[in-house]
């Protein structure tokens, strides 16, 4: 039996017909995006279960070794940031286990969508594109694609719908990193949509409208 990541879950009033697995950013936890779900104003159907995993606590080298929730260690900040690749890959495998669990709970893979903010998005590029069954889509929020040069995209997700959302004034992950992610995805044969917003490393109302539209379009 898999040792699943601990998660917060939001269950719909009706039997779930689809699932969204949503990863938080560095230093946050699975509760971070729970309050935003009502703001998406999603219709009652399809009934969606939201799963918000908690990252393990790790010492983060670039933050003076402080222990905090992290999907992987960051060795150095900067646009070409150095990171612990084995830890990122292990986090992606942990996401695969959560996808498998949703399938076991009766949700077809094509009705499972991944979302990730910042470091969580970096993991979900790897998790979504290497999963061996077709997924509904990927929401990549204020994030970057650190494994773009090593990833082997599984044919099941070679046409994965992707929405990239990024703040034009992001001081943590400059919008150029989001633009690079789009370019890397296009090199891999995907056709991502990218939206930018006048904001920093955060979310905004206009972005939530786009996120809601994407979820409704693909679930």
Q: Tell whether the model's pLDDT for residue 54 goes beyond 90.
A: yes
Q: Is residue 32 a part of any domain in this protein?
A: yes
Strands in 11-120 per DSSP E: 18-23, 48-53, 57-60, 66-69, 74-76, 82-83, 112-117
Q: How confident is the model at residue 76 (pLDDT cuts 50, 70, 90)?
A: confident
Those residues whose C-beta lies under 8 Å from the C-beta of residue 86, and which sit 6 or more positions away, are none
Rounded Cα distance between 11 and 146, Å, is 32
For the whole model, what pTM was predicted? Answer: 0.97
- pLDDT band for 77, please (50, 70, 90 cuts): confident
CATH number at residue 139: 3.40.50.1820
Percent of the chain with pLDDT over 70: 98
Q: How far apart are CA 46 and CA 64, in angstroms?
A: 45
Domain total in the chain: 1
pLDDT at 80: 66
- What is the residue-wise DSSP string for 12-43? -SSPPSEEEEEE--TT--TTTTGGGGGGG---
What digits encode the pLDDT tens for the residues 151-168? 999 999 999 999 999 999
The answer to whether residue 216 scores a pLDDT higher than 80 is yes
Both structure tokens of 39:
């703001």
Identify the pLDDT of residue 177. 95
183 part of a folded domain: yes
> How long is the chain?
219
Q: How far from 211 is each of 80, 94, 162, 184, 205, CA to CA, in Å?
A: 27, 24, 11, 21, 10
- Structural domain of residue 121, as residue ranges? 7-218
* Predicted confidence band of residue 18 (pLDDT cuts 50, 70, 90): very high
Distance between first and last Cα of the chain: 28
- In-domain check, residue 44: yes
Asked if 164 and 135 touch (Cβ cutoff 8 Å), the reply is no
Whether residue 210 is contained in a domain is answered as yes
Rounded Cα distance between 77 and 206, Å, is: 28
Percent of the chain with pLDDT over 90: 95
Alpha-carbon distances, residue 94 vs 5, 100, 200 (angstroms)? 7, 10, 29
Catalytic residues: 118, 170, 201
Residue 171 tokens, joined = 């001081």
Judge whether residue 190 has pLDDT over 90.
Answer: yes
Whether 162 and 65 have beta carbons less than 8 Å apart is answered as no
Confidence category of residue 79, pLDDT binned at 50, 70, 90 = low
Residue 2 lies in a domain: no
Residue 1 counted as domain residue: no
pLDDT band at 81 (very low <50, low <70, confident <90, very high): confident
pLDDT at residue 1 greater than cutoff 60: no
């Amino acid at each position: 039996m898999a040792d699943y990541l601990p998660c917060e879950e939001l269950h719909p009033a009706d039997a779930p017909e689809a699932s969204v697995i949503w990863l938080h950013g560095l230093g946050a936890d699975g509760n971070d995006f729970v309050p935003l779900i009502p703001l998406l104003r999603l219709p009652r159907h399809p009934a969606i279960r939201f799963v918000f995993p908690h990252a393990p606590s790790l010492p983060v080298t670039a933050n003076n070794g402080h222990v905090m929730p992290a999907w992987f260690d960051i060795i150095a900040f900067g646009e070409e940031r150095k990171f612990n690749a084995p830890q990122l890959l292990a986090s992606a495998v942990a996401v695969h286990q959560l996808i498998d669990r949703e399938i076991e709970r009766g949700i077809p893979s094509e009705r499972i969508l991944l979302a990730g903010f910042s470091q969580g998005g970096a993991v979900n590029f790897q998790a979504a594109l290497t999963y061996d069954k077709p997924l509904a889509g990927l929401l990549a929020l204020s994030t970057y694609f650190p494994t773009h040069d090593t990833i082997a995209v599984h044919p099941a997700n070679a046409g994965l719908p992707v929405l990239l959302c990024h703040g034009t004034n992001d001081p943590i992950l400059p919008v150029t990193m989001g633009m690079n992610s789009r370019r890397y995805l296009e090199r891999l044969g995907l056709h991502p949509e990218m939206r930018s917003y006048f904001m920093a490393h955060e979310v905004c109302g206009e972005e939530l409208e786009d996120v809601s539209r994407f979820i409704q379009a693909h679930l």
